[in-house]
Amino acid sequence: MNPTWIAAAEQLAEDGGELGFSAAARVASAFRANCLPEATRNLMTAAYALAGEEVKLRFLDRVEPCATAEEFLTGAEELEGDAAALGKHAADMAAACETALEEAIGAHQAARRRMTAAQVNPGSRAARAEVAAALKAMRAAKRVIAECDAALDLICQVRERLEYVVRCFRCTPADFAEAYDVPLQHLRDGGTLPWSGTFLTAAQQVR
């Protein structure tokens, strides 16, 4: 049985938070390039879902402006992949923790049966030793059960958030297309946009 399920769950939550900060950095980079806020709506939602209000404390003055719309959309796609991979890891961790929980419950039940059997003849030295061993095994199983229960709560919370942000990241291209519908249609019709180093004019990279 793994004695560090809570530590593993806390590391998973920390990894999710770091992914949220990565999303916030992408948003900050887009804002520095004068990207319309509407284009980052789901990206920002994902950042808050994973990292909470702390996202406001980082990045706005520490990132380079996003060079092109293609870079912005590729970044969102990479975040989606990272969130999906971390979600898979969370699912695997939850399954393993559930197995450990079931094993601990089984161990506790087996130890209780041993204690009950030993108490049939409680006066013998062997019976007293068996009861003591069974009580020790029950206490150990209870510790694992409590740890697995607590870890599963956190793992499931993180897993649900990751499933949610995968959908957010997946919606980012649609947010972008809606926010820049007119200039993008102009480009698809064969038009061009002037280059001024801002995010919107960089949209000429998108086809």
Contacts of 29 (CB under 8 A, 6+ apart): 63, 64, 65, 66, 72, 75
Mean of pLDDT values over 5-33: 92
CB 131 within 8 A of CB 196: no
Domain boundaries, the chain: 5-96+159-205
Determine if the pTM surpasses 0.75.
Answer: yes
CB 176 within 8 A of CB 72: yes
pLDDT, one tens digit per residue, over 101-145 is 999 999 999 999 998 888 877 778 888 888 899 999 999 999 999
* Residue 37 confidence (pLDDT) above 90: no
